A and B are shown apart, each in its own frame.
Chain A
Amino acid sequence: MQQRKIAMVKQELKDLHELKQLYQPVADEMLVNMGPQHPSTHGVLNFLLVTDGEVMHKAVAHVGYLHRGIEKIGEAVEYNGFVPFTDRVDYLAAMSANQGFAMAVEKLASIQVPERAEYLRVIATELNRIASHLVANGAMAMDIGAFTPFVHWLKEREFVNDLMEELCGARLTYNYIRIGGVAFDCGKELAEKIVKWIDHFEPMVDEFDRLITNNEIFVQRLANVSPISAEEAMSYNLVGPNLRASGVDWDIRRDVPYSVYSKFDFKIPVGKGFRGTVGDCYDRFVLRILEIRESCKILRQALATMPEGEIMAKVPKTIKPPKGEAIARVESARGELFYYVVSDGSSKPLRVKIRAGSFTAMSIIEHLSKGVMIADLVAIIGSLDVVAPEVDR
C-alpha cells in the first residue's frame, strides 16, 4: 500500500514535469506557478502560467489537488450512506448536491416524494443558493481588492446559516434532503423567521448595489474583461450563471422542471452586457445578484403556499432499487449538476457519476487567458465561481 502511494506521488510529479516540458518558454517568456496555495484560487487550484512580464500567453489549469474519490466511495456505501458525501461534492451549495442524488435514487426505486417535502426542498435549496452566491460575489470582490463588501456579505451569510441551522441542525454540510423526502420539518415560527429575514435582506441587496455593483471603480475594473460569447460558452459546455451571463437563456428549473418549480413565478436573468460586452466578468457578477433577488421571490411564494402533510415517503431502511440506471439534473448554484446512478439490485450503487459545472468552467480558463493580465486571471477565476472539490470530486 505504502509503495503504491509513493508510486502515485512520483507519477504526479512526473506529470507536472511533463507539463512543464510541453510548454518550453521561448524568448522572454516566463513560467510561473500560481497555486495550489494562493489567496485568490478559492481552494486548491493550480495554474501554470506562461507569461511575458505581466501579460499572459497561456494559463494551464492543473487539477486534482482535492480529488477525494467520492464517486468510488459511492460504490462502497449504501444509498442512504452516500447522501453525506454529496454534501462534500459542493460545499457551498450542498442542498442541490443532496437533491440531485436523492432524485436519481427516487427515480430508480420509484419513490413518490410528498408535496410538502418538495416545497421544503425548494426552500432549502433557494436559501442555499443565496448563501452560495453571497460567497461567490463577496470572494470575487475581495480578490480584486474590495474587502468591505466581502465582510458585509459574510454578515448576511451568517443569518442564512442561522436559519439553516434551525432547519436542519448544520451550518455547512446539511445532509437534509434524504432519499424520499427531507429529514426535518419546518415549523410556523421558522417560516415567519425566514420571511422576516428576506424583508431585511432585500433592502440590503439594494445597499450592496450602491456599495459595490454600481461603484464606478469596480465597474471599470470588470467591464469588458474577457467576455465569453454565447457560442464559446456552449461549445465549452458552461452551465448555470456562467452560461446565462453569456446571453443563453437556459435554466433547468424552468426548462426541465423538477420538484415543484413549475408552480412558482420567477424570471431567469440573462446577461445583456450591463455595462460592457455580453458575457464579461461584470455580467457574471451582476447575474448572481439578480439571481439572489429571484431566489428571494421563490422563497416568499414557497413559504406562502406550502401545503401541510408528510415530509418523508415510506422508504425502507435499506433501499434496494431494481436493476437499472437513472439520471437526475438539478440547477445548483454553479449550474447544472448531473447525477448518473446505476443499480445492480443490491443495497449499494454499482456506479455513481457526478458531473458538475465547475469542471467545465475550469476548462475555459486556458482559452480565456490568452493575452490578458495576470491580475485579470484572478477576476476570471472569481467570476466563474470555481469550487475546487466540484472540479476534482
Chain B
Amino acid sequence: MDGFLLTTTEEFLNWNRKSSIWYLLFASACCGIELMQTGGPRTDLDRFGAVPRATPRQADLMIVAGTITYKMAERVRLLYEQMAEPRYVISMGSCANCGGLFQSSYSVLKGVDKVIPVDLYIPGCPPRPEALADAVVKLQAKMMKEKYLRTVRA
C-alpha cells in the first residue's frame, strides 16, 4: 500500500475542476493586453492550471477583458451560451464592470452583467496582472464550495 486519501466525491470533483480552469482567449479592448501579460512569464496563470482556449466550447471561464459595445454585446452573449456548464465569468476592468470611462458614450454597454451573469468583478483601468491572478484564486475558492451533486439541474 502506497497510502490513501479520504475525501468526499463532491470535494474531489471540485478539486478537479478548480485545478484546470481553461479560459476563453477573448479580449475586447485594453484589458486584453494585461490579460496577455497575466498569461505571460511573470504572473503565469498556467500555475493555476488555467490555459487559454481558442473556442468557447472548450472553455470553463470567460474573462471579459475590456469595453463591450452594443454591437458586441450580442456576440458576447452567444459566446457565453456556447460554453459548457459549469461556466464562470470574470468581469475584468471598469469598462466590463460598469462602462467605466466610457459611461457617457452612446455606443457602450454599461456593464457586461446586463447580458451575462458575472461571478467576479475586478476593478481597475486596466487591473494589474496580480489582480487578475488573485481573481482566479478567489474563483478557485468559490469553485471548492460548489455543490453539484446536491443541485438539481434543469
Contact = CB atoms under 8 A, between A and B. Distances in A.
Q: Do A and B come from one complex?
A: yes
Interface of A: 5, 8-9, 12, 36-39, 43-44, 64-70, 72-73, 76, 84-85, 88, 91-92, 135, 151, 154-155, 157-158, 161, 171-173, 388-389
Q: Is the interface of A mostly helix, strand, loop or mixed?
A: helix
9 residue pairs, one from A and one from B, having the closest CB atoms: A154-B40, A91-B30, A69-B105, A39-B54, A155-B41, A65-B72, A39-B25, A68-B102, A158-B42
Contacts of A85: 101
A9 B69 CA distance: 10
B29 A388 contact: yes
Nearest to A44: B28
B42 A155 contact: yes
Contacts of A92: 33
A59 B52 CA distance: 27
A43 B29 contact: yes
Contacts of B40: 151, 154-155, 157-158
B109 to A, nearest CB: 9
Interface centre among A84, A88, A158 (most CB of B within 10 A): A88
Nearest to A94: B30
B: interface residue count bin: 35 or more
B36 A154 contact: yes
Contact of A172 (B30, B41, B73, B107): B30
B125 interface: yes
B33 A172 contact: yes
Contact of B126 (A43, A64, A157, A173): A173
B20 to A, nearest CB: 19
B71 A67 contact: yes
B140 interface: no
Interface string B32-74: 1110110011100000000010101000000000110111111
B22 interface: no
Given A65-B72, A155-B42, A72 B106 contact: yes
Given A68-B108, A154-B36, A161-B37, A88 B72 contact: no
B79 interface: yes
A66 B28 contact: yes
A17 to B, nearest CB: 14
A43 B73 CA distance: 14
A67 B33 contact: no
A80 to B, nearest CB: 15
A21 to B, nearest CB: 19
Contacts of A43: 27-29, 32
A5 B79 contact: no
B26 interface: yes
B17 interface: no
A91 B33 contact: yes
Contacts of B87: none
A68 B75 CA distance: 16
Given A88-B29, A171-B128, A173-B30, 9 more contacts: A37-B24, A43-B29, A43-B32, A65-B28, A66-B72, A84-B101, A88-B30, A158-B40, A173-B125
Given A44-B28, A161-B37, A389-B29, A72 B71 contact: no
B102 A9 contact: no
Contacts of A8: 70, 107
B34 A66 contact: no
A65 B69 CA distance: 7
A6 B141 CA distance: 38
A51 to B, nearest CB: 19
Contacts of A67: 69, 71, 107
B151 interface: no
Contacts of B108: 68-69
A158 B41 contact: yes
A67 B102 CA distance: 11
Nearest to A158: B42
A84 B104 CA distance: 14
A173 B106 CA distance: 22
B71 A73 contact: no
Nearest to A138: B36
A37 B26 CA distance: 6
